[in-house]
Structure 1
Amino acid sequence: MYEPKTKETDSSVIEFIEKVDNVKKRKDAYDLLDIFTEVTGFQAKMWGPSIIGFGSYHYVYETGHEGDAPLVGFSPRKAKISLYFTMEEKEREQLLESFGKHTSGKACIYINKLDDVDLEILKQLIEKTVNYFEKKYPRN
């Protein structure tokens, strides 16, 4: 049976952030912690060894595969800061046009530093992702 690698843990978010070597990246991680907490209203939790997630949803795929994942999150990685957002693709692309310096993957947006992006757009990306998952996977 499939076992998801990324699960919510009891590890300390603060202890994780304190281990970030780069001082600027550590400060950005604390700023992101405040922003995500403010926008989502959820307490930060560690998901796996390196993702700071907010809220959660339970998914079930047609294949029967199911699990839990954070609604939104971020990870201050060595190379870049990963931001985890999912929403309608067209809406995401429109927001990213004015987001600032970034690269993106399917569900990740990568930034070098928080100063490179528009914080109001960041807040919209967080809010719209939470709304997307709460509609797609409503809680019972």
Structure 2
Amino acid sequence: MATTWTDGDPVAFVERAAPAVRRRDAHTLLELMRRVTGQEPRMFGTSMVGFGQYRYEYASGRSGQAPAASFAPRKAATTVYLPDGVGAHEELLARLGPHTTGVGCLYVKDLEQVDLGVLEEIVRRSWSAVTAGTFGRRARES
């Protein structure tokens, strides 16, 4: 079954995040993503906080909707999802500070160790790319 928007309370979810550094960073990301997107947070599934949405359609014909900006406070690190792929942000990522990446995921263990201005610009560019109405690829295809 595909992940969908739920009626969960994103602030209550963030309050339950552990360890404490994830909770602190999640509150920071709530404000950063509100500012960038102009949207209020909503739960996507049971463990992802999303802002806005975009529609995708793959070459296979599979399509759906997903958050245009989102994050998840995981135990090991906070995951910031970049649906346009991390490759689109290489130059900014080089200036961010300590992090690791996956195809469409940015993993940060402590937001106090990264440049929040750079992170905000990454989220802003990703948001713009996926909400322009023309984005439909998977992150790995970017």
Q: TM-score, normalised by structure 2?
A: 0.88
Equivalent residue letter for 1:64: G
Question: Do the aligned residues in 1 keep the contact of 2:86 with 2:103 (CA within 8 Å)?
Answer: no
**Among 7, 13, 30, the residue aligned to 2:4:** 7
Equivalent residue letter for 1:122: L
1:49 Cα offset (Å): 0.8
**Among 28, 41, 46, the residue aligned to 1:31:** 28
1:7 Cα offset (Å): 1.2
- Residue 62 of structure 2 corresponds to which residue in structure 1? 65
Q: Deviations over 1:63-120 (max 9, x none)?
A: 2211110011111001110011133765411110000000001000101011111111
Question: Do the aligned residues in 1 keep the contact of 2:85 with 2:103 (CA within 8 Å)?
Answer: no
Residue 120 (structure 2) pairs with residue 123 (structure 1): yes
Question: Do the aligned residues in 2 keep the contact of 1:86 with 1:129 (CA within 8 Å)?
Answer: yes
Work out the CA distance in 1 between the residues paired with 2:60 and 2:85. 22
Provide the identity percentage.
Answer: 34
Residue 49 (structure 2) pairs with residue 52 (structure 1): yes
**Structure 1, 10-19 or 129-138: larger mean CA deviation:** 129-138
1:29 Cα offset (Å): 0.6
SS in 2 for 1:64: coil
The unaligned stretches of length 5 or more in structure 1 are none
Question: Do the aligned residues in 1 keep the contact of 2:71 with 2:80 (CA within 8 Å)?
Answer: yes
**Among 12, 16, 19, the residue aligned to 2:13:** 16
Equivalent residue letter for 2:126: T
**Among 106, 109, 117, the residue aligned to 2:106:** 109
The unaligned stretches of length 5 or more in structure 2 are 137-142
Q: Deviations over 1:29-69 (max 9, x none)?
A: 11110111011101101111101111101112222211110
Q: Which runs of 4+ in 1 moved over 2 A?
A: 86-91, 135-138
Task: Count how many residue pairs are aligned between Structure 1 and Structure 2.
Answer: 135
Work out the CA distance in 2 between the residues paired with 1:65 and 1:118. 37
**Among 81, 106, 111, the residue aligned to 1:84:** 81
User: What is the root-mean-square deviation in Å for CA atoms of aligned residues?
Assistant: 1.6
